[in-house]
């Protein structure tokens, strides 16, 4: 989704710093970019559609006067990507500039009413009503902060807003409802931003702004106020993420770097064990678990259902967050609802969390420190993956799985699984050492139009995740299916040259999955098998295969078998000359429903 940044600096120009910060947020949304600064001569504005690098080459975004300003990367919701629709947006007198992440649901009626009063709109965006409303209130004599307060009273929807005015030197006012907003507190420089990676080059001291709060940022620092204008005493949290963690460090793309970090991410996430034990000790009376999540986090949740039901015998459901409100859910105080989210800001997931908080115990498994889900759920487990910049989730998926394995094993007193988790990083390193084999397979299948991914039991969510990664970053249609379900319909689609990726770890499901492999092979499909090393039948029956250490059985396979699938999508994307870090139409953090 869109990303916003703002800064008030001491004795240095804001534009180059804003450009640096916003480029760290490009992963959130990227169809347009813009910066507004201000000085004695008024507001200075540069913006256009396109990636930051392209726009910067054209109009030199870092070259603007003024020691304070705001900036934005856009992920279009209302209005096509274009210069006019790019943020910042200004009022009619061009004295005020605004950046916004979120959606103003009642913008059409506000726009109509403002137009009838003579105000003119230059864009098709919902956002433009904000600077014009602020202008209207400032014209009536209210100051910038008051005018923003009055503006947000009129709008429905979600927002993180940053506003500047030429009449308020070195001041940024900001407001938040349902879209993320943080404040960065440096020694002499102060920031607002959608998330921490944007400002890590400048400060690690973060204040998390809550829903309904306002921020006034100036040379003295940051003041946070509640909706009635009272100053709120907020804690400054020092986060241990470093700017380096959000750099490519020699890799061509963040996605590849993040895939390669997975062995270390597992070691780091295993440190959550004591926290998880403590949480489990408070859950004596639960008799049902319900996972709620979207996308990749949903696939981690599906793995959780298989693990918890088989290890701990507790009935477990998995619900897509966007579907949660359409069923009665039957939650009660003996239900634990587990929310899995990399960002902790996904709108669908947060809505469901708020609903579940009313009737059940809630636990959030989240990567982004201090994000909304971590502040609203009763219990929190952190996935220790560090900042993930590639839009396609990889290392955070692995870390979600580690938390789920720890949770299920502790719930079931299963020391064997707890011990086996320690060895997973080595199995992942084995896979990464054979990366070139996957690269070759990717080269062969780069022009395919459709892929199938099949697996059984715990390998089924892995197959779904493999298909999702492929769709996201290669734009090839990929369908994940339970291997035994193919014959109930989709087998009709299988014919010559459709690549079918068969995920077949050793264990109970092995023989039956191998039979399903034969079914697709008999229909002419090109079978690519991910299975255990040293099995002659796999080599013989497959067009291509990649093997994983045969100690990795079906119980722990989700933590290892997904890695070759991530690499397959990555290299197909590279072969197709695409940018795997920034797939079209997608955003890292989806803050709209």
Whose Cβ is closer to ligand F6R: residue 194's or residue 296's? Answer: 296
Whose Cβ is closer to ligand F6R: residue 349's or residue 462's? Answer: 349
Estimate the crossing angle of helix 52-59 against helix 14-24, to 10 degrees.
160
Q: Half-sphere exposure of residue 113, counting CA atoms within 13 Å on the CB side?
A: 10
- Spatial CA neighbour of 17 closest among 7, 25, 27: 7
d(CA 394, CA 124) in angstroms, rounded, equals 35
Neighbours of 327 (CB within 10 A): 9
476, 448 Cβ separation under 8 angstroms: yes
Query: Where do runs of H (alpha helix) occur along 207-270?
Result: 254-260, 262-269
E-state strands within 29-116: 32-39, 42-49, 68-74, 89-90, 96-104
Residues 6+ apart with CB under 8 A from 137: 146, 147, 150, 151
d(CA 403, CA 524) in angstroms, rounded, equals 40
Instruction: State in angstroms the smallest separation of the CB of 528 from ligand F6R.
Output: 21
Whose Cβ is closer to ligand F6R: residue 261's or residue 472's? Answer: 472
Lookup result for tokens 């009635």? 228
d(CA 343, CA 332) in angstroms, rounded, equals 27
Instruction: State in angstroms the smallest separation of the CB of 297 from ligand F6R.
Output: 4
Whose Cβ is closer to ligand F6R: residue 466's or residue 499's? Answer: 466
Residues interacting with ligand F6R, by CB under 6 A?
A: 294-297, 341-343, 346, 349, 392-393, 468, 472, 589-590
Give the H/E segment covering residue 171. Answer: strand 171-177
Whose Cβ is closer to ligand F6R: residue 349's or residue 362's? Answer: 349
For the four alpha carbons of 134, 139, 140 and 144, in that order, the dihedral sign comes to: positive
Tokens linked to 22: 């916003």
Whose Cβ is closer to ligand F6R: residue 297's or residue 337's? Answer: 297
Catalytic position from the list 24, 111, 136, 588: 588
Q: Which residue is nearest to ligand F6R (CB)?
A: 295
124, 79 Cβ separation under 8 angstroms: yes
Instruction: State in angstroms the smallest separation of the CB of 392 from ligand F6R.
Output: 4
- Beta pairing class for 361-366 and 450-455: unpaired
312, 417 Cβ separation under 8 angstroms: no
Whose Cβ is closer to ligand F6R: residue 128's or residue 178's? Answer: 178
d(CA 455, CA 528) in angstroms, rounded, equals 12
Whose Cβ is closer to ligand F6R: residue 37's or residue 396's? Answer: 396
Active site residue 282: no
- Is 495 buried (19+), middle (13-18) or exposed (0-12) by CB count in 10 A? exposed
Instruction: State in angstroms the smallest separation of the CB of 349 from ligand F6R.
Output: 5
Instruction: State in angstroms the smallest separation of the CB of 380 from ligand F6R.
Output: 14
- Is 258 buried (19+), middle (13-18) or exposed (0-12) by CB count in 10 A? buried
Instruction: Write phi, then psi, for 43 (nearest 5 degrees).
Output: -85, 135
Tokens linked to 487: 């014959």
Residues 6+ apart with CB under 8 A from 116: none
Active site residue 588: yes
Q: What is the dihedral of CA 446, 560, 319, 586, to 10 degrees?
A: -40
d(CA 378, CA 282) in angstroms, rounded, equals 11
Give the H/E segment covering residue 34. Answer: strand 32-39
Catalytic position from the list 2, 7, 290, 589: 2
Instruction: State in angstroms the smallest separation of the CB of 116 from ligand F6R.
Output: 39
Instruction: State in angstroms the smallest separation of the CB of 337 from ligand F6R.
Output: 15
d(CA 136, CA 151) in angstroms, rounded, equals 9
325, 297 Cβ separation under 8 angstroms: no
DSSP-assigned beta bridge partners for residue 531: 547
Lookup result for tokens 């256009």? 48
Whose Cβ is closer to ligand F6R: residue 346's or residue 362's? Answer: 346
Whose Cβ is closer to ligand F6R: residue 1's or residue 336's? Answer: 1
Instruction: State in angstroms the smallest separation of the CB of 369 from ligand F6R.
Output: 13
Instruction: State in angstroms the smallest separation of the CB of 102 from ligand F6R.
Output: 16
Tokens linked to 492: 């009709």
Whose Cβ is closer to ligand F6R: residue 158's or residue 297's? Answer: 297
Instruction: State in angstroms the smallest separation of the CB of 516 from ligand F6R.
Output: 26
Instruction: State in angstroms the smallest separation of the CB of 398 from ligand F6R.
Output: 12
- Is 243 buried (19+), middle (13-18) or exposed (0-12) by CB count in 10 A? middle
Catalytic residue positions, numbered: 2, 588
């Amino acid at each position: 989704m869109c990303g916003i940044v703002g800064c008030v600096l001491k004795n240095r120009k804001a534009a180059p710093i804003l450009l640096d910060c916003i480029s760290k947020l490009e992963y959130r949304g990227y169809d347009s970019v813009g910066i507004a600064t201000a000085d004695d001569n008024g507001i200075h504005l540069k913006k256009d559609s396109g990636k930051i690098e392209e726009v910067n080459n054209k109009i030199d975004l870092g070259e603007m006067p003024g020691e304070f300003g705001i900036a934005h990367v856009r992920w279009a919701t209302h209005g096509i990507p274009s210069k006019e629709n790019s943020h910042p947006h200004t009022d009619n007198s061009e004295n005020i500039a605004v950046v916004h992440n979120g959606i103003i649901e009642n913008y059409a009626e506000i726009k109509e009413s403002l137009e009838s009063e003579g105000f003119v709109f230059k864009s098709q965006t919902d956002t433009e009503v904000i600077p014009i409303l602020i202008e209207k209130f400032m014209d009536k004599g209210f100051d910038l902060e008051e005018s923003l307060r009055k503006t947000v009273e009129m709008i429905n929807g979600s927002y993180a807003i940053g506003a500047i005015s030429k009449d308020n030197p070195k001041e940024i006012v900001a407001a938040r409802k349902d879209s993320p907003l943080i404040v960065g507190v440096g020694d002499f420089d102060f920031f607002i931003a959608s998330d921490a990676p944007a400002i890590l080059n400048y400060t690690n001291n973060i204040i998390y702004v809550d829903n309904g709060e306002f921020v006034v940022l100036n040379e003295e620092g940051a003041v946070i106020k509640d909706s009635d204008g009272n100053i709120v005493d907020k804690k400054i949290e020092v986060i241990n993420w470093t700017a380096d963690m959000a750099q490519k460090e020699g890799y061509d793309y963040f996605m590849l770097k993040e895939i390669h970090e997975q062995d270390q991410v597992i070691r780091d996430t295993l440190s959550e064990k004591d926290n998880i034990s403590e949480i489990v000790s408070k859950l004596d009376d639960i008799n049902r678990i319900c996972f709620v999540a979207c996308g990749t986090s949903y696939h981690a949740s599906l793995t959780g259902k298989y693990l918890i039901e088989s290890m701990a015998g507790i009935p477990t459901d998995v619900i897509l967050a966007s579907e949660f409100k359409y069923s009665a859910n039957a939650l009660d105080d003996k239900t634990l609802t587990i929310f899995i989210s990399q960002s902790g800001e996904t709108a669908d997931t947060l809505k469901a969390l708020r609903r579940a908080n009313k009737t059940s115990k809630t636990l959030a498994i989240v990567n982004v420190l201090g994000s909304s889900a971590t502040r609203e759920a009763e219990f929190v487990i952190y996935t220790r993956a560090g900042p993930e910049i590639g839009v396609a989730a990889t290392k955070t998926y692995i870390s979600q799985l580690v938390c789920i394995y720890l949770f299920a094993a502790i719930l079931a007193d299963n020391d064997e699984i707890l011990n086996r988790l320690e060895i997973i990083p080595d199995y992942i390193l084995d896979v990464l050492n054979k990366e070139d084999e996957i690269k070759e397979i990717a080269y062969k299948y780069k022009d395919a139009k459709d892929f199938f991914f099949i697996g059984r039991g715990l390998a089924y969510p892995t197959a779904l995740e493999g298909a999702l990664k492929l769709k996201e970053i290669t734009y090839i249609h990929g369908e994940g299916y339970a291997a035994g379900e193919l014959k109930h319909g989709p087998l009709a689609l299988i014919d010559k040259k459709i690549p079918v990726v068969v995920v077949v770890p050793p264990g109970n499901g092995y023989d039956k999955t191998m039979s399903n492999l034969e079914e697709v092979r008999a229909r002419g499909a090109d079978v690519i098998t991910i299975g255990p090393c040293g099995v002659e039948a796999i080599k013989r029956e497959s067009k291509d295969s990649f093997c994983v250490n045969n100690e990795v059985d079906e119980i722990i396979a989700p933590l290892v078998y997904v890695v070759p699938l991530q690499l397959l999508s990555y290299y197909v994307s590279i072969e197709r000359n695409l940018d795997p870090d920034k797939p079209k139409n997608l955003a890292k953090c989806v803050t709209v429903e």
